[in-house]
Structure 1
Amino acid sequence: MTPARLLVPLSLALLAACAQQPKQIVSLDDQKDCPITLKTGQTLMLMLPSNPTTGHRWLMQNPAPSILNAMGPEVFNTPEDVGMVGTEGQSVWRYKAANAGTGHLMMVYQQPWAPEVRPERTFDCAITVN
């Protein structure tokens, strides 16, 4: 058998093996990507635009506790090429898909001392874990 004839079946077998493995980290940065389905054990990285210098913060309304486990606190990142204070960046959270089921990850962007004021933004994502 020629090397070219061996290469095609081996390549297809390798592609099939790769397709069966889900990504370990699933990134979510827009509500348009919702609803989302995860496999148990996958990590969900949620990245939302944020600017804490305005006093606004993303406040958790529903962390989908029956299906997701938080892997730490919120981390705020700014673009490296912008050295100005007060620049918008991203708030990042990581969750582990812990249990099979469905839930909603819901957050509001508002000033914590003014809960009566309508949130500037909301994030509500239906999540299914298999």
Structure 2
Amino acid sequence: MKTATNKKFWKYARFSTILFMVFTVVLSGCVDEGQDGNGSENMADNSQGTNGTNNSQETDGEDYVYGTADVENIQILILESFPVQVRVIAEGYLPDGCTEIDKIKTERERNIFNVSINTKRPKDAICTRTIESFTETIPLDVQGLKAGNYTVNVNGVNGSFELAVDNIIQEEFPGPIPPGQQVVTEADNGTNISVENGETFYLRLPENPSTGYHWELNLTQGLNVTLGPDDRPGRYYPPEQPEGIEQPLVGAGGVRIWEIKAVAEGGQQVTAVYKRPSENETAEGGTFTLNVEIA
């Protein structure tokens, strides 16, 4: 009787142990699966966050490497028109497939045109290492220039052209300017003229009082200027009225003309600034300089 009882006890204990072990294995599998799932989910989230940041940087559009284009040769074309038009054709190459032309800037210093062709490429881009050729047509602002020889420099490659005649459209000067007198205009900015002592010349610059801007003229001691009816140097002339229109043109600009007389020999200078009297800043392009040699 006692032996039968012991056998039942051990049989029950062995069954409980096996059941406990199965339960433990199943439970550990669920926990591992959950942990693995959370880990994968976290890794996926982190991966998405990292990729999002990288994509933002790549599409930022500000991370570029800037440089200067390699120009091999230039050709200067003078178009048959008046006023004359001049075009510069620049040919060169770019070092890879990612580099492109960024900006083209043209400046003139007396008789020299300096043209800069700049490039840009994405900083971290992987590009094909193949040379890409380019051709750029660049107009030059030659209206108002006097006859003479001019030099063009495009990224270190030089060329030249000649204006056979003054590239200036002749206009009738308003006001009492005697025939045959020397007239200086905005096209003469930065140039030199020669006059005899006691001789008179005229300076003519565009002015629009409706904007509040006026020319402020300064002369060295060897030059005198007459005052206009507004007690300012020179005299303002409004734009001519079109035929059939009686009302004045509102907002249209005219010109101011100065009569300047040479009174002392030697090198003299005329300078003018286009500005509002209450402000220190000048208008864009609102400076004028003329060197006068009086014999």
Q: TM-score, normalised by structure 2?
A: 0.33
2:279 aligns to what SS in structure 1?
coil
> Which residue is equivalent to 1:97?
262
Aligned to 2:11: none
After superposition, the CA RMSD in angstroms is: 1.9
For 1:77 and 1:118, the matched residues in 2 are separated by: 22
Partner residue in 2 for 1:8 = none
Quote the residue 2:236 is aligned against.
76
Match of 1:110 among 252, 258, 275: 275
TM superposition shift of 1:119? 3.8
Q: Note if contact 1:47-1:93 (Cα within 8 Å) is conserved in structure 2.
A: yes
Distance 1:32 1:95 in 2: 15
Query: 1:99: Cα distance to partner?
Result: 1.0
Q: What SS does structure 2 have at the residue aligned with 1:35?
A: strand
Structure 2 spans left out of the alignment, 5+ residues: 1-178, 228-232, 243-247
Q: Are positions 1:45 and 2:202 aligned together?
A: yes
Match of 1:4 in 2: none
Map 1:1-130; keep pairs closer than 5 Å: 25-32=181-188, 34-60=191-217, 62-65=218-221, 67-72=222-227, 73-82=233-242, 83-115=248-280, 117-120=281-284, 121-130=286-295
Structure 1: how far apart are the matches of 2:209 and 2:187? 21
- What do residues 54-108 of structure 1 show as CA deviations (whole Å, max 9, x unaligned)? 0001012x3122x211122321112322531321110111111111111210011
Give, as a single letter, the amino acid of the residue that structure 1 aligns with 2:197.
Answer: T
Q: Is the 8 A contact 1:31 1:123 kept in 2?
A: no
Greater relative contact order (Cα < 8 A, sep 6+): 1
Give the C-alpha shift of residue 51 in structure 1: 0.1
8 Å contact 2:274–2:282 — kept in the other structure? no
User: Against the structure 1 CA distance between its residues 91 and 97, is the aligned structure 2 distance closer, same or farther, given a 3 Å change threshold?
Assistant: same
Structure 1 contact 31–124 (Cα < 8 Å) conserved:
no
Contact map agreement 1:25 1:42 (CA 8 A) in 2: no
* Aligned counterpart, 1:5: none
Structure 1 residue identity aligned to 2:272: M
Runs of 4+ off more than 4 Å: none
- The percentage of counterpart residues that share the same residue type is 29
The CA distance in 2 between the partners of 1:74 and 1:40, in whole Å, is: 20
Instruction: After TM superposition, give the deviation of residue 112 of structure 1 in Å.
Output: 1.1
